């Protein structure tokens, strides 16, 4: 299994791209963030050979404060953040995300810090 911790808040995809007609263009901020993710991934990936060309199971954990002061849940779309994370991590690993067969994303309450954890492992028996 590969476990990658990204020690920062990941912005939503809406903040990382701008649109010109029907064309999405990556902002400079997004390019810098993708490069930072690449550096983290490449310095922290042992066990890569164990998952190459396998059907993969991916778990994305988004750690941050998900609640308002009054206890209601903040309007935050995790799917908007997850897509950029998966694209960036898989590009850095040199793995096509077509190998993802099982995927799950969770919000984890954390008042003190904001970060993400991506766990990637081969499915047992390739199922």
Report which of 80, 84, 89 is spatially closest to residue 2, judged by C-alpha positions.
89
Per the CB < 8 A criterion, the answer to whether 120 and 57 are in contact is yes
CATH architecture classification, 2-126: 2-Layer Sandwich (3.30)
**Confidence grade of residue 125 (pLDDT, cut at 50, 70, 90):** low
Mean pLDDT of the chain: 88
Beta bridge partners, 122, equal 56
User: Residue ranges of the domains in the chain?
Assistant: 2-126
Report which of 35, 34, 38, 16 is spatially closest to residue 26, judged by C-alpha positions.
16
Report the distance separating Cα 12 and Cα 1, nearest Å. 26
Sequence-distant (≥ 6) Cβ neighbours of residue 101 within 8 angstroms: 55, 56, 57, 123
**Confidence grade of residue 109 (pLDDT, cut at 50, 70, 90):** very high
Note the pLDDT tens digit of each residue in 68-97. 999 999 988 888 888 889 999 999 998 899
C-alpha pair distances (Å), 114 with each of 7, 42, 43, 97: 7, 21, 21, 25
What counts of helices (H) and strands (E) characterise the chain?
3, 6
Note the pLDDT tens digit of each residue in 35-51. 999 999 987 665 565 67
End-to-end CA distance of the chain: 16
| DSSP H or E segment with residue 57 | strand 56-64
pTM exceeds 0.75, yes or no = yes
């Amino acid at each position: 299994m590969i476990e990658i911790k990204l020690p920062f808040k990941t912005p939503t995809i809406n903040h990382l791209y701008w649109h010109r007609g029907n064309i999405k263009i990556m902002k400079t901020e997004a390019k810098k963030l993708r490069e930072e993710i690449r550096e983290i991934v490449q310095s922290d990936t042992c066990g890569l050979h164990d998952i190459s060309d396998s059907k993969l199971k991916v778990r994305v954990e988004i750690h941050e404060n998900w609640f308002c002061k009054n206890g209601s849940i903040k309007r935050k779309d995790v799917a908007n953040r997850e897509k950029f994370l998966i694209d960036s991590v898989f590009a850095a690993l040199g793995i096509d995300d077509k190998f993802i067969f099982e995927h799950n994303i969770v919000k984890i309450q954390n008042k003190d810090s904001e970060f993400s954890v991506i766990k990637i492992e081969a499915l047992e028996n390739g199922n």
